[in-house]
């Protein structure tokens, strides 16, 4: 999986391979995950949220990536 974040002006993305993981601390950063590989990929997300908080916040594309 490749993780593209709104705080990267070059839209380079960070590649995660099988067995790797990452922590998204939340906040104002927007991110998008893409499977740029040739085999199916699976992600598992665990979210710790305050009671009744929304699971995600939809925001417009940040404009730093061409997709």
* pLDDT tens readout for residues 32-57: 899 999 999 999 888 888 899 887 77
pTM score: 0.77
Residues whose CB falls within 8 Å of the CB of residue 15, separated by 6 or more in sequence, listed in order: 1, 2, 36
């Amino acid at each position: 999986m490749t993780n593209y974040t709104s705080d990267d002006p070059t839209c380079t993305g960070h590649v995660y391979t099988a067995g790797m993981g990452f922590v998204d601390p939340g906040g104002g950063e927007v991110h998008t995950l893409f499977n740029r590989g040739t085999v199916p990929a699976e992600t598992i997300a665990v979210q710790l949220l305050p009671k009744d908080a929304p699971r995600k916040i939809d925001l417009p594309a940040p404009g730093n990536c061409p997709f």
